[in-house]
Amino acid sequence: MKKIKSVLIPLCILVVTAVVIFLIVNNPPKNMRSKGKTQTHIVVDVITLKAREFTMEINSYGVVRPRTQSMLVAQVSGEISYVSDQFRDGGFFEKGELLLQIDDRDYQAEVKIAQATLLSAEQALLEEQARSEQALADWHRLGNGAQANSLVLREPQLAAQRANVLSAEAKLEKAQLALERTRIIAPFSGRVLNKQVDLGQVISNNGQLAQVYAVDYVEVRLPINNSDLRFINLPEQSRDGVHNGQQAIVTLSSDLVGYQQWQGTVIRTEGAINEQSQQLYVVAQITDPYAAKKLAEFPIKIGQYVNAKISGKTIPHALTIPNNAIYQGSYVYVLNEQNLLMRKTVEAAWQNQELTLVRSGLSAGDRLVITPLGQVSSGTKVTVSGSAQKQLDTPVQDLSSRRQKKLDAIAKKRGISVEQVLLERKQGKAQGEGV
């Protein structure tokens, strides 16, 4: 029995080993690795750059100020007996219009007293002239051939009476001037900013009546970035009064009550660099801002904050690109003939909130990628959107004014550029057509 076991156990081991080897040989391990994922194609929008005439738009801001702002002050004292209907906060008035009347009865009495004093002085002068003439006649009648002196001819007394007449005339003029000053007349066509007195109030000499300002035009001080100075025509005036430069057109806008805008001109350049900001200021003017034909739903107000776009110099052959196509402020992506992404470094000559004027790095005819790409490498194969390849012939400032206002408001609310708004609308429309 023991001999049989010693033979069967090794034989069983050999059989099992042979079976295992057979199974391994006939069932080799299979490669279970999955196939690589198909690379996702990047679809991009591009614009074909074209050199064109481009007019700079310099962005600035400021606060509306009146051309002339004055404090009306009483030059006489008394009780206010009349107040014009336009003498109220925000009321308009014309030059020469009566705004206030101070009780003038005391001043009329002063004028009559001064007139009586003048008549008395003139009478005394006539009497003294008669005495002087009589003295001269008496001197000749006495037969004295010598020349009569001034005392004999009463010349000092005559001069004193003439002085009394001059003094009386001056007092009368002063009384008449005080009477005239009881009528507060508008010095210019303007508007009341702040009324400080009213009917029946007693005011003293030099008492403040109201703050008023002229309405023929308003002004806005606009700071200009130092990098923008060479792109704008600044109006300058020489010592001899010769004006150099042109009055640039400026568009002022505000969203205080909806979107509103006003047209004006840059009329002068200030004579010094601001010490705090180290910037040069120009002054823009809006002529006759309160005329009926210019009144909008909400007229421009003194102290209102406005944004400004100043028309700068015109460049005949310029390449401009949207700011959202620039990465890290230094490079862009363009496509070659094989639709491969190529990274190009660009140098900006000028830039505003929407566009960049290219100094170097790009050429007319380049296909610029305007789709945000993130982290991509040069040489990446992309697909061009069928409806996106076009020429950059319609810049932001060439849109219709109504559409431009709407796009500006949307872009400002969302914190993006106008080009991005247009691109999103275009992509949404394309997706809708695909569905």
294 vs 274, higher pLDDT: 274
Model confidence at 65, pLDDT cuts 50, 70, 90, reads very high
Note the pLDDT of residue 61: 93
Name the average pLDDT for the chain. 81
The closest alpha carbon to 231, from 66, 54, 33, 20, belongs to: 54
Section 243-261 average pLDDT: 83
Note the pLDDT of residue 294: 59
Model confidence at 394, pLDDT cuts 50, 70, 90, reads very low
Together in a domain, 229 and 337:
no
The closest alpha carbon to 72, from 99, 53, 54, 95, belongs to: 99
Range of the domain at 266: 60-67+216-314
End residue of a domain, out of 153, 182, 213: 213
Together in a domain, 220 and 209:
no
The whole-angstrom separation of Cα 426 and Cα 371 is 12
Which residue type occupies 59? N
Global confidence as pTM: 0.64
- For residue 6, tell me if it sits in a domain: no
CA distances from 35 to 32, 39, 380 (A): 9, 12, 21
- For residue 119, tell me if it sits in a domain: yes
Distance of CA 253 to the CA centre of its chain: 8
Together in a domain, 47 and 130:
no
* Angle at 323 (CA atoms; ends 321, 328), nearest 5 degrees: 120
Together in a domain, 322 and 423:
yes
Which pLDDT tens digit goes with each residue over 181-196? 999 999 999 999 999 9
- For residue 26, tell me if it sits in a domain: no
Note the pLDDT of residue 427: 59
In this structure, what DSSP letter does residue 149 have?
A: P
The closest alpha carbon to 249, from 401, 55, 418, belongs to: 55
Model confidence at 243, pLDDT cuts 50, 70, 90, reads low
164: Cβ–Cβ under 8 A, 6 or more apart, which residues?
A: 121, 124, 125
Note the pLDDT of residue 419: 62
- For residue 162, tell me if it sits in a domain: yes
Q: Per this entry, what is the length of the chain?
A: 435
385: Cβ–Cβ under 8 A, 6 or more apart, which residues?
A: 43, 44, 45, 46, 430
Handedness of CA 83, 85, 90, 96 (dihedral sign): negative
The whole-angstrom separation of Cα 103 and Cα 111 is 14
Model confidence at 433, pLDDT cuts 50, 70, 90, reads very low
Which pLDDT tens digit goes with each residue over 103-157? 999 999 999 999 999 999 999 889 888 888 887 887 777 766 677 777 877 888 8
Together in a domain, 144 and 126:
yes
CA distances from 347 to 162, 181, 320 (A): 86, 67, 12
Which residue type occupies 220? V
Together in a domain, 98 and 229:
no
What CATH number is associated with residue 95?
2.40.50.100
Note the pLDDT of residue 388: 45
End residue of a domain, out of 181, 213, 245: 213
What CATH number is associated with residue 323?
2.40.420.20
Note the pLDDT of residue 339: 85
At 61, phi and psi to the nearest 5?
A: -160, 165
Which pLDDT tens digit goes with each residue over 338-364? 888 888 889 888 888 888 888 888 888
* Angle at 172 (CA atoms; ends 167, 173), nearest 5 degrees: 100
- For residue 192, tell me if it sits in a domain: yes
Contacts of range 397-400, beta carbons closer than 8 Å, 24 or more positions apart = 397/55, 397/57
Together in a domain, 250 and 285:
yes
The whole-angstrom separation of Cα 203 and Cα 32 is 104
Q: How many domains does the chain have?
A: 3
pLDDT at 98 over 90: yes
Together in a domain, 338 and 356:
yes
- For residue 411, tell me if it sits in a domain: yes
The whole-angstrom separation of Cα 13 and Cα 36 is 45
- For residue 10, tell me if it sits in a domain: no
Section 373-377 average pLDDT: 79
End residue of a domain, out of 285, 314, 343: 314
What CATH number is associated with residue 230?
2.40.30.170
Rg of the chain (C-alpha set):
46
At 296, phi and psi to the nearest 5?
A: -100, -165
Together in a domain, 83 and 191:
yes
Number of other CB atoms surrounding residue 338 within 10 Å:
8
Together in a domain, 198 and 79:
yes
- For residue 14, tell me if it sits in a domain: no
Inter-residue contact 368 to 47 (CB < 8 Å): yes
SS (H, E, C) 45-107: CEEECCCEEEEEEEEEEEEEEECCEEEEECCCCEEEEEECCCCCCCCEECCCCEEEEECCHHH
Together in a domain, 92 and 191:
yes
Least confident range of 198-202, 217-221, 293-297, 408-412: 293-297
CA distances from 434 to 24, 383, 425, 428 (A): 54, 16, 14, 10
Together in a domain, 113 and 188:
yes
